[in-house]
C-alpha cells in the first residue's frame, strides 16, 4: 500500500497552520458515493474552504493531504468543544452507486461492494496501525469514528462510519481490534513505502 503525499496547499489549514499534539485518530467516510478522492480534494483545496482532512483512503492508495500535526477541520464541534484540536481525521472514500437519505445509505449493494469495502477497510487498518505506532496511541482507546466523537460531545452530528460498516458486518470495535492486531507486523511494510523522504523525516522529527 502506498501513501501518496498531495497537500491541500490552498486550504487555510495548510497555508496558515496551527500545530497540534495528536492524541486521537478519527475515521470518517465521505457521506457521498465518490471513490475518487481528487474530486473532494479539489473542493477542499481553496482558500475559502471550511473543511479539511489529513488524508483519504481509496481502494488502491492512501493520499495524505495535510501534515499529521497540522490542525484540520474535519469533525466540527459539539456541546463540549471540538476534537479538531487533538486529532487526525481520515476519510474513507465510498464506492459509486448509492445515494443518501439523511444519514442513511440508499440502494447500497452490499455484494457488489464487498471487494471495495474490504480494500478500503484493510487500507484503513494499516494506516491507523502505522499512525498509532508512530504517535504512541492506544488503538482501543484512541481511535474513534465521527459519530462516536459526536456522542462524546466533541463533534458535529454525523453518522459516519456507522452508516456503512454494519452493512459489511464491521463496527468500530472490530476496526480497533484489527488495528491492534496489525500494529506489530504491518507497520514496517507500510513505513517503507512512504513515498516522500522529506515527510518521513518530518514524521520522525515529530516523534522524537
Applying CB under 5 A, which residues contact Zn ion? Answer: 28, 146, 158, 160
- Quick one: 40 or 125, whose CB is closer to Zn ion? 40
Nearer to Zn ion, 166 or 188 (CB): 166
Cell reading at 107: 440502494
Q: What is the rounded CA–CA span in Å between residue 100 and residue 109?
A: 13
The smaller minimum CB distance to Zn ion, of residues 133 and 158, is found at: 158
Taking the CA atoms of 198, 90, 15 and 206 in sequence, report the sign of the dihedral they define. Answer: negative
Residues 6+ apart with CB under 8 A from 42: none
As measured in angstroms, the least distance from the Cβ of 201 to Zn ion is: 30
Closest to Zn ion by CB, 3 or 147: 147
Query: What is the nearest approach in angstroms of Zn ion to the Cβ of residue 161?
Result: 8
Beta bridge partners of 126: none
> How near is the Cβ of 77 to Zn ion at its closest, in Å?
13
For the bound state, the minimum distance from the C-beta of residue 200 to Zn ion, rounded and expressed in Å, comes to 28
Q: How large is the angle between the packed helices 172-182 and 114-134, nearest 10 degrees?
A: 60
Amino acid at each position: 500500500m502506498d501513501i501518496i503525499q498531495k497537500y491541500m496547499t490552498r486550504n487555510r489549514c495548510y497555508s496558515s497552520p496551527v500545530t497540534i499534539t495528536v492524541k486521537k485518530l478519527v475515521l470518517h467516510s465521505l457521506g457521498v458515493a465518490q471513490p475518487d478522492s481528487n474530486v473532494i480534494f479539489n473542493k477542499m483545496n481553496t482558500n475559502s474552504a471550511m473543511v479539511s482532512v489529513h488524508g483519504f483512503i481509496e481502494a488502491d492508495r492512501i493520499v495524505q493531504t495535510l501534515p499529521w500535526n497540522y490542525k484540520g477541520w474535519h469533525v466540527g464541534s459539539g456541546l463540549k468543544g471540538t476534537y479538531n484540536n487533538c486529532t487526525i481525521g481520515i476519510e474513507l472514500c465510498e464506492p459509486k452507486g448509492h445515494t443518501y437519505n439523511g444519514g442513511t445509505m440508499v440502494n447500497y449493494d452490499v455484494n457488489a461492494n464487498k471487494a471495495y469495502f474490504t480494500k478500503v477497510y484493510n487500507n484503513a487498518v494499516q494506516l491507523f496501525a502505522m499512525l498509532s505506532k508512530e504517535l504512541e496511541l492506544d488503538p482501543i482507546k484512541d481511535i474513534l469514528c465521527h459519530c462516536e466523537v459526536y456522542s462524546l460531545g466533541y463533534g458535529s452530528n454525523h453518522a459516519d462510519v456507522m452508516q456503512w460498516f454494519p452493512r459489511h458486518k464491521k463496527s468500530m470495535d472490530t476496526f480497533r481490534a484489527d488495528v491492534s492486531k496489525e500494529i506489530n507486523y504491518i507497520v514496517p511494510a507500510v513505513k517503507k513505502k512512504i513515498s516522500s523522504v522529506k515527510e518521513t523525516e518530518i514524521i520522525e522529527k515529530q516523534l522524537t
